[in-house]
Amino acid sequence: MLGFAPSSISHHQATPNTKFSFFTMSSLTTSTSLEMFTGIVEEMGDVVSLETKDDMILWDGSKGSGTEMVIKGDVVMDGAYLGCSISVNGVCLTATELDFDSNIFKVGLAPETLRKTNLGTYTANSKKQVNLERASEIGGRNSGHFVQGHVDNIGTIIERWVDENSLFFKVSFPYEFMRYVVPKGFIAIDGTSLTVCDVKSEGPNGENWFTFMLVEYTQKKIIIPTKQIGDTVNIEVDVLGKYSEQAWEAFVPKMEALEQKVQDLEAKVARLEGSSGSANSKDITYGDVVPKSFSSSNDPDLSNRAKSTPRRKDTEGWVRSEQEFINADRDNADMNPKRDINNKGTEWVRKKQTFYDTNY
């Protein structure tokens, strides 16, 4: 997985007089993008500033505090508009202000974003860069995988090494998310679509880590190679794994309920089969031939009736494959007053089964 693709730059010709220009969406080219990413980083941007303000105007006119980050990027400014989504180190953020002269944009960082990601460590003084990607276009190619930009948690680099021209990283990750990390599966690291190599998950109190590697080309196009042991990365697991798990969890109870019904029905049939014998129903293996102990030959009355019944020659008891169908045209219909004599079909009704002319 490369994690990077070059893109041509075609800047807007807008020339705002102020530092940040507040364009309306209608004043720019209509966007055809979705709020989804591919994990193919378009460029590395510079963090200009990260500051917390106490005088931010909220929706109801009141003032509140919040954190804002200003980033410089060239490629992602092409086609940008107020309210567009830009992936910053794998975090889907909304562009709130744009300056096309300086190619910088501003985004807001919610408290949840600061808790779940490493963006709070990216100050201007740190001179760190961030991976940037615009939202994917409808109908465009996806050389990575479906990345939402919704970081699950941060991972910590615990080891790194070189294997010829490949750069390997081992990252520790909270156990609660490890079930979504599988060998050769997708994973987004700081917004880069990568392939998982090895996985080890030993539970809440054990080791929980995975490895990934970067090919030579990707190493020069993203920020991950600049990170050392102890540094953190933003991680988003494959969302398809989450959807599959949720669908399976909804399906399992229904399967268990169906299996229980089947077991209950089999138990009832076993009790019926064993009603004329002395064998224990627990000794029955469902689907097997009815044991001899269930034979009506052990019951003199049933045996005598069976001998006088020309329609059956078998006296081994009730055999499932020989269940009788109700037919209202039979001569002995009056033997069972509960039967529907108007029924001209042969529909088999369990509660009206005939057991050697004895209705149960």
Active site residues: 37, 85, 92, 94, 110, 150, 195
Q: Is 222 left (phi over 0), alpha (psi -120 to 50) or beta?
A: beta
76's tokens: 């992602």
Residue 303 CB neighbours (<10 A): 14
147's tokens: 């990345």
Task: Decide if 77 contacts 87 (C-beta within 8 A).
Answer: no
Q: CA-based angle 119:124:125, to the nearest 5?
A: 110
Q: Give the number of C-alpha atoms closer than 13 A to the C-alpha of residue 303, restricted to the C-beta side.
A: 9
Residue 237 CB neighbours (<10 A): 23
CA–CA gap between residue 355 and residue 14 (Å, rounded):
91
For residue 4, what is the DSSP state?
Answer: B
The 3-class SS string of 175-229 reads HHHHCCCCCCCEEEECCEEEEEEEEEECCCCCCEEEEEEECHHHHCCCCHHHCCC
Task: Decide if 355 contacts 318 (C-beta within 8 A).
Answer: yes
For residue 219, what is the DSSP state?
Answer: H
319's tokens: 């055999």
272's tokens: 């019926």
